[in-house]
Structure 1
Amino acid sequence: MNQERIYRVQAQEAGQRLDLFLASKDEERSRSQFKKWIEAGRVQVNARTVKPRYLVQAGDEVLLRVPQPQGPEITPEPIPLDILYEDEHILVVNKAPGVVVHPGAGHASGTLVHGLLNHCSRLASQGSPLRPGIVHRLDRETSGVLLVAKSDPAYLRLIELFKEHRVRKRYLAWVYGRPRPEKGEIRTLIGRHPKDRKRMAVVDRNGKEAVTQWRVVTSWHDQVSLLEVRILTGRTHQIRVHCHYLGHPLLGDPTYGGGRRRARSLAHPRIRHLVLTQVQRTLLHAHRLELEHPISGIPMAWEAPEPEDFLSLRQALEAVIRHP
């Protein structure tokens, strides 16, 4: 069984190779995957099969037939869940760091979905069979508020709310340095990194608009800062990419310039020691999520408290300030 997707090429997208055009529309799959599907006849342009090197033109209608993944059914597993809210249509959890949201390559068990299926009698059946009820995701190392659809009507409405940017998400993020000004907005295109397809990057073309707002909550000797971040769009790795682009990568994020090499460059010896010894993951936390309930329309909001590693680092840094 195939899932059909139709794309209309815009003027600013004209001139791209077809496989690259499709890769820009789906951040989860590589150009080589789309090349294989084009060669297998799963892609048509204006009702004709073409080659991967075909250069798309403004107004082209691109039909993609995505095969449904084949594999064993997901077996529920008793994984601990920190449930913030639940009714017959939705469920909101505080995802722990280190937990993968849904099954995928290298993660056939132990995901949040396995735990959700053990807890719930059902999840929404819309979308991919390996992602029942999942309407948005958090990276493996990111903790915090995650919303799940239990019913199909809720799933479909939530997808609309996300597309219409009517879901408000706020994060807490630890970064290197101290952004100046202390609050602001960055608006760029984000797409696949031109040389490393596993990474995202700020690009000049062939990306999707990404808007991030930030403000500094606290800073310690201008060495590290805690930010409150609001994203108005939901691009893959958006906060990590934008903070790196601003020159203030997230603590514990080696993919985007915030790994141990950056930590060793910190000038303050005690802060350097704390970051090197205490930071064990990318320090990003989905703190608050607000939206109208997908069925009742009632405004709702949920917050996930700061995780233990956030609090421990904050306390240790405050001790440095008190006793320099």
Structure 2
Amino acid sequence: MRNQGYACTEIISSKHHGQTLLSYLAGHYPHSTAQVWQQNLDNREVTLDGVIATGRESLRSGQTLVWNRPPWVEPETPQHFEVLFEDAYLLAVNKPGGLPTLPGGGFMENTLIRLVQKQTPSANPVHRLGRATTGIVLFAKTPQAASQLSADWNTPKIQKIYRALAQGVAQQDTYEILTPIGLVPHPRIGSVWAASPDGKPSKSLAKVISRTADSTTFEVSLYSGRPHQIRIHLASIGHPLVGDPLYGFTGLPLENLPGLPGDGGYLLHAQFLNFHHPVTREPIHLEAALPPGFAVPQ
């Protein structure tokens, strides 16, 4: 699918005051080299406070930077989703693997939010799942529902339970994982969320569902909502997800990445979501059927 292009807008922060625009773009967005960014600038795609930029400008705190990215052909993604629940206030769907929840990383139209809003324009996701992650995504259809769910999302009022296939055979039946999560530097992708002693407090509870000779299937309950939390937490106790292209056995990113952070190859599924309806207060219990690849425990 070829989209209509996109205007990426940001405000320059004080820590980049005095830096040249070209060096900022190349350093802040390492997915493109300085040569590629200079070509974008020469193509008159970048403005600074509304003026076409050359790249030689010295940045000032508070300036508005806009990259008018031209239309591009997006990678193909699944174009379907299963409706699990819907009323006047909420919509819950089962997201397939390979479909991003929100625009980003080269995807804009081929995203779950665009597919859902074609049918239900008022629906907005309360949270997101990684592109390769499958399972329940909850949408709010009214501002009232969105406000209440956002307030409750990372509290015990909303129970989020995942299924994950991890490397290695777990020695314990249950793990309480409290590894802090924060941004750490990475030579290829700039920075990435990972295990970090300076990160934010995080909590997961992992229970063993089944074991094979070289893997463990966990049921993981989330008590915080950090990016890539389950992938990082299981890796931090020595059980990274089978096929995870990003995280190694310590919860830190692999130095020689076989792919990009959004790439798949692992099995992680948002299986259950339990909460009280934000308007009617009735209990809601949602379940998304396990995708192929997960062994059924004996």
1:165 CA displacement: 4.4
1:71 CA displacement: 8.7
Match of 2:196 in 1: 203
Candidates 230, 235, 252, aligned match of 2:226: 235
C-alpha change, 1:282 and 1:88, in structure 2 (3 Å) is same
SS at match of 2:149: helix
C-alpha change, 1:177 and 1:157, in structure 2 (3 Å) is same
Match of 2:108 in 1: 108
Match of 1:87 in 2: 87
Q: Which amino acid aligns with 1:154?
A: A
Q: Does 2:280 match 1:296?
A: yes
In percent, how many aligned pairs have the same letter?
31
1:122 CA displacement: 2.2
Alpha-carbon distance in 1 for matches of 2:248, 2:92: 32
Match of 1:219 in 2: 211
1:195 CA displacement: 3.2
Match of 2:168 in 1: 177
Match of 2:118 in 1: 118
Q: Deviations over 1:155-187 (max 9, x none)?
A: 111110114442210000000112222202011
Alpha-carbon distance in 2 for matches of 1:70, 1:40: 20
SS at match of 1:138: coil
Match of 2:258 in 1: none
Match of 1:41 in 2: 61
Give the unaligned 5+ runs of structure 1. Answer: 1-16, 21-30, 44-65, 73-77, 124-132, 259-279, 319-324
**8 A Cα contact 1:79 1:114, kept in partner:** no
Give the unaligned 5+ runs of structure 2. Answer: 1-12, 17-26, 30-47, 50-58, 71-77, 250-263
Q: TM-score, normalised by structure 2?
A: 0.68
After superposing on structure 2, the runs of 4+ consecutive aligned residues of structure 1 that deviate more than 4 Å are 17-20, 66-72
Alpha-carbon distance in 2 for matches of 1:294, 1:161: 9
**8 A Cα contact 1:190 1:235, kept in partner:** yes
Alignment of 1:64-75 (within 5 A): none
Alpha-carbon distance in 1 for matches of 2:174, 2:191: 30
**8 A Cα contact 1:293 1:299, kept in partner:** yes
Alpha-carbon distance in 2 for matches of 1:69, 1:85: 38
Alpha-carbon distance in 1 for matches of 2:89, 2:279: 8
Q: Does 2:246 match 1:255?
A: yes
**8 A Cα contact 1:19 1:32, kept in partner:** no
> How many residues in Structure 1 have an aligned counterpart in Structure 2?
232
SS at match of 1:300: strand
Q: Deviations over 1:39-86 (max 9, x none)?
A: 54339xxxxxxxxxxxxxxxxxxxxxx9999899xxxxx942200000
**8 A Cα contact 1:165 1:233, kept in partner:** no
Alignment of 1:1-20 (within 5 A): none
C-alpha change, 1:114 and 1:247, in structure 2 (3 Å) is same
**8 A Cα contact 2:185 2:191, kept in partner:** no
Alpha-carbon distance in 2 for matches of 1:287, 1:84: 12
Q: Deviations over 1:180-218 (max 9, x none)?
A: 22202011210012335442221111x211101111111
Q: Deviations over 1:293-316 (max 9, x none)?
A: 111122211011110232xxx27x
Q: Which amino acid aligns with 1:119?
A: Q
SS at match of 2:284: strand
Alpha-carbon distance in 2 for matches of 1:242, 1:122: 34
**8 A Cα contact 2:85 2:91, kept in partner:** yes
CA RMSD of aligned residues (A): 3.5
Alpha-carbon distance in 2 for matches of 1:164, 1:70: 38
C-alpha change, 1:194 and 1:18, in structure 2 (3 Å) is farther
SS at match of 2:115: helix
SS at match of 2:270: strand
Which structure features the higher share of helix residues? 1
